[in-house]
Amino acid sequence: MQILINMGFPREAVKRALFYTYNQGLECATKWLMDHITDNNFAEPFVPSRHDFNSEISIERAFIICRVLVQRIKDVSVNYNLNVIPNFYDTAKSTNGMVYVKFNDYEFYPQYIVYYREHNLSQYADPYSCNFNYKYGIDQ
Protein backbone atom coordinates (compact mmCIF):
# COMPACT_ATOMS: atom_id res chain seq x y z
CA MET A 1 0.00 0.00 0.00
CA GLN A 2 2.75 2.43 0.96
CA ILE A 3 4.52 1.95 -2.38
CA LEU A 4 1.40 3.05 -4.26
CA ILE A 5 0.92 6.03 -1.96
CA ASN A 6 4.57 6.99 -2.49
CA MET A 7 3.89 6.83 -6.24
CA GLY A 8 1.36 9.64 -5.70
CA PHE A 9 -1.94 7.76 -5.59
CA PRO A 10 -4.43 8.87 -2.90
CA ARG A 11 -4.67 6.53 0.10
CA GLU A 12 -8.42 5.95 -0.41
CA ALA A 13 -7.92 5.08 -4.08
CA VAL A 14 -5.20 2.61 -3.09
CA LYS A 15 -7.56 0.97 -0.57
CA ARG A 16 -10.20 0.67 -3.29
CA ALA A 17 -7.68 -0.82 -5.76
CA LEU A 18 -6.42 -3.40 -3.28
CA PHE A 19 -10.00 -4.38 -2.42
CA TYR A 20 -11.19 -4.80 -6.01
CA THR A 21 -8.05 -6.68 -7.10
CA TYR A 22 -8.29 -9.03 -4.09
CA ASN A 23 -4.90 -7.75 -2.92
CA GLN A 24 -3.16 -9.74 -5.68
CA GLY A 25 -0.14 -7.47 -5.81
CA LEU A 26 1.39 -4.20 -6.87
CA GLU A 27 1.01 -4.74 -10.61
CA CYS A 28 -2.70 -5.56 -10.42
CA ALA A 29 -3.44 -2.64 -8.10
CA THR A 30 -1.48 -0.23 -10.29
CA LYS A 31 -3.39 -1.37 -13.38
CA TRP A 32 -6.70 -0.90 -11.54
CA LEU A 33 -5.66 2.59 -10.39
CA MET A 34 -4.64 3.66 -13.90
CA ASP A 35 -7.90 2.32 -15.37
CA HIS A 36 -10.03 4.15 -12.77
CA ILE A 37 -8.06 7.37 -12.29
CA THR A 38 -10.86 9.42 -13.91
CA ASP A 39 -13.65 7.92 -11.76
CA ASN A 40 -15.65 10.54 -9.82
CA ASN A 41 -15.08 8.75 -6.51
CA PHE A 42 -11.39 7.95 -7.11
CA ALA A 43 -10.04 9.73 -4.00
CA GLU A 44 -13.19 9.74 -1.86
CA PRO A 45 -13.21 7.76 1.40
CA PHE A 46 -13.52 4.04 0.67
CA VAL A 47 -16.04 2.05 2.67
CA PRO A 48 -17.09 -1.13 0.84
CA SER A 49 -20.83 -1.62 0.78
CA ARG A 50 -22.60 -4.96 1.12
CA HIS A 51 -23.08 -5.28 -2.64
CA ASP A 52 -19.30 -5.04 -3.13
CA PHE A 53 -18.92 -8.50 -1.63
CA ASN A 54 -19.67 -11.66 -3.57
CA SER A 55 -22.77 -13.07 -1.88
CA GLU A 56 -21.65 -16.64 -2.61
CA ILE A 57 -18.52 -16.17 -0.50
CA SER A 58 -19.26 -16.02 3.20
CA ILE A 59 -17.02 -14.74 5.95
CA GLU A 60 -15.40 -17.86 7.34
CA ARG A 61 -13.32 -16.52 10.20
CA ALA A 62 -12.42 -13.42 12.17
CA PHE A 63 -9.78 -12.47 14.67
CA ILE A 64 -9.15 -9.45 16.84
CA ILE A 65 -5.85 -7.60 16.93
CA CYS A 66 -5.54 -5.85 20.25
CA ARG A 67 -3.21 -4.22 22.69
CA VAL A 68 -2.88 -6.11 25.94
CA LEU A 69 -1.77 -4.96 29.36
CA VAL A 70 0.83 -7.37 30.71
CA GLN A 71 2.70 -6.93 33.99
CA ARG A 72 3.25 -10.16 35.91
CA ILE A 73 3.61 -13.29 33.77
CA LYS A 74 3.42 -16.90 35.02
CA ASP A 75 5.32 -19.40 32.83
CA VAL A 76 3.37 -22.65 32.52
CA SER A 77 4.13 -25.96 30.82
CA VAL A 78 2.63 -26.63 27.42
CA ASN A 79 0.22 -29.28 28.77
CA TYR A 80 -2.13 -26.44 29.83
CA ASN A 81 -3.09 -27.96 33.19
CA LEU A 82 -3.35 -24.56 34.91
CA ASN A 83 -7.00 -24.03 35.88
CA VAL A 84 -6.66 -20.82 37.88
CA ILE A 85 -3.76 -18.40 37.82
CA PRO A 86 -2.30 -17.34 41.19
CA ASN A 87 -3.63 -13.96 42.38
CA PHE A 88 -0.41 -12.00 41.94
CA TYR A 89 -0.12 -12.88 38.19
CA ASP A 90 -2.20 -11.28 35.42
CA THR A 91 -1.01 -13.40 32.47
CA ALA A 92 0.03 -17.00 31.80
CA LYS A 93 2.58 -17.80 29.08
CA SER A 94 3.65 -21.16 27.69
CA THR A 95 7.32 -21.94 28.24
CA ASN A 96 7.91 -21.89 24.47
CA GLY A 97 6.52 -18.32 24.34
CA MET A 98 3.88 -19.16 21.72
CA VAL A 99 0.70 -18.87 23.83
CA TYR A 100 -0.35 -16.08 26.16
CA VAL A 101 -3.52 -16.35 28.25
CA LYS A 102 -5.17 -13.34 29.86
CA PHE A 103 -7.63 -13.84 32.69
CA ASN A 104 -9.30 -10.43 32.85
CA ASP A 105 -11.44 -9.27 29.93
CA TYR A 106 -10.90 -5.61 30.80
CA GLU A 107 -7.17 -5.70 30.02
CA PHE A 108 -7.62 -5.87 26.24
CA TYR A 109 -7.85 -2.87 23.94
CA PRO A 110 -9.12 -4.03 20.53
CA GLN A 111 -7.55 -2.17 17.60
CA TYR A 112 -8.86 -4.12 14.62
CA ILE A 113 -11.29 -6.89 13.75
CA VAL A 114 -9.93 -8.81 10.77
CA TYR A 115 -12.36 -10.85 8.68
CA TYR A 116 -10.93 -13.25 6.15
CA ARG A 117 -12.11 -15.83 3.65
CA GLU A 118 -10.65 -17.89 0.86
CA HIS A 119 -11.26 -16.68 -2.67
CA ASN A 120 -11.24 -19.11 -5.55
CA LEU A 121 -10.16 -16.52 -8.11
CA SER A 122 -9.70 -18.99 -10.95
CA GLN A 123 -13.46 -19.08 -11.56
CA TYR A 124 -13.70 -15.34 -12.24
CA ALA A 125 -12.94 -13.67 -15.56
CA ASP A 126 -11.44 -10.63 -13.87
CA PRO A 127 -9.88 -7.99 -16.14
CA TYR A 128 -7.49 -7.12 -13.30
CA SER A 129 -6.25 -10.65 -12.86
CA CYS A 130 -2.49 -10.98 -12.97
CA ASN A 131 -2.62 -14.57 -14.15
CA PHE A 132 -1.21 -13.71 -17.57
CA ASN A 133 -0.72 -17.34 -18.59
CA TYR A 134 -4.45 -17.97 -18.22
CA LYS A 135 -5.59 -14.61 -19.58
CA TYR A 136 -3.46 -14.64 -22.72
CA GLY A 137 -3.36 -18.39 -23.34
CA ILE A 138 0.39 -18.71 -22.80
CA ASP A 139 1.52 -22.29 -22.32
CA GLN A 140 3.57 -22.98 -19.23
User: pLDDT, tens digit, for every residue of 95-111?
Assistant: 777 766 776 666 677 78
pLDDT of 71: 77
Residue 136: predicted pLDDT: 44
Helix (H, G, I), strand (E, B) or coil at 11: helix
* pLDDT band with cut points at 50, 70 and 90 for residue 33: very high
Question: Looking at the chain, which residues constitute the CATH 1.10.8.10 domain(s)?
Answer: 1-51
The mean pLDDT of the chain is 73
According to DSSP, the β-strands at 108-116 and 100-102 are unpaired
Under CATH, which number does the domain 1-51 receive?
1.10.8.10
What backbone torsions phi and psi does residue 118 show, to the nearest 5 degrees? -95, 130
**Gap between the Cα atoms of 101 and 53, Å rounded:** 35
Torsion of CA 117, 118, 120, 126, to 10 degrees: 50
pLDDT at 115: 78
Spatial distance between the Cα atoms of 76 and 92, rounded to a whole number of angstroms: 7
Please answer whether residues 10 and 42 qualify as being in contact, where contact means their C-beta atoms are separated by less than 8 angstroms: yes
